[in-house]
Structure 1
């Protein structure tokens, strides 16, 4: 018997940071990404293996730009894609945008619990404040059949809060945030894979 859809509350807000040193480190994430991309260009060769380490470093750096808060715990994105087209849902870079196939390529990855009655909260770094933000939800099965066309937009209120039904009883729910800095210089696609508590399956 199918369980009822889970209603989850999301809040889009700026990161609440403590020490000034942390402010400083977060303010440099985009600079870190630009430096990684510069070195990646210098080391580009006939095979992708030459730049794979830079792609991993860029991915790790970008994960510091957004977080999903569930049950009081902070979760970095499962994966981040870099968008060339600010209006596109598909964000291929050196490699393809594999959002529709995460269930196949990320076996054993830890998923984010849906957050219970407290819901979920998305927070972005200072560098992304003031920029355009679009939130979507999806089900892994629909994504596999229809690709990024299966992403369903979640409306944002003036206060930044949204409500959407994330069907996560089978561990197949996705939360997707498109966000970038206010100057529109770049856009990121942050993806979180929701699932039951207790770790990967």
Structure 2
């Protein structure tokens, strides 16, 4: 069973994912929910426990049912006896992570979706990635590709393979995701020099908070 702290983190993640999926900015969410901006940021960045009333308010502002947020959080918290979820992420979540990797690393410079760069790097390893397979991966479609493909893809994109194969409940996945979101936001804001600094020792919560501020400053 997940601890209260871990479940709260999973709820915060589900809320962030819902905001991203709907293309809403932090300011959009603040305006629609009627909540104080600093409070919204603390909730979404898992810096404060999210009470039931706040969950319903935020879910309503996002246009989703509160029980859907809870269900997503519960699914992320399904853990084995060692405390780590062995359930692989669904294809749509893998797609989100791959797109974030490509965006954060500006891998799409040669092609709009990063296919040219990624397929070439994979080919050097003896792994064939067709454009159709790549498009399906980015679209979150079910794939029969062996796990070695994701393993090689992760290594080509410069991350621990657990990021593409592990659960959101895994702290390593959360840490990498926060770093990539920060790198993406820094790139979008034109301050790549900051992203180039060592950020491995910065907590995921802090990176999430800075990322949200960078995103808000651009809107």
User: If each structure's strand is expressed as a fraction of its own residues, which one has the higher value?
Assistant: 1
User: If each structure's helix is expressed as a fraction of its own residues, which one has the higher value?
Assistant: 2
TM-score (norm 1): 0.24
TM-score (norm 2): 0.23
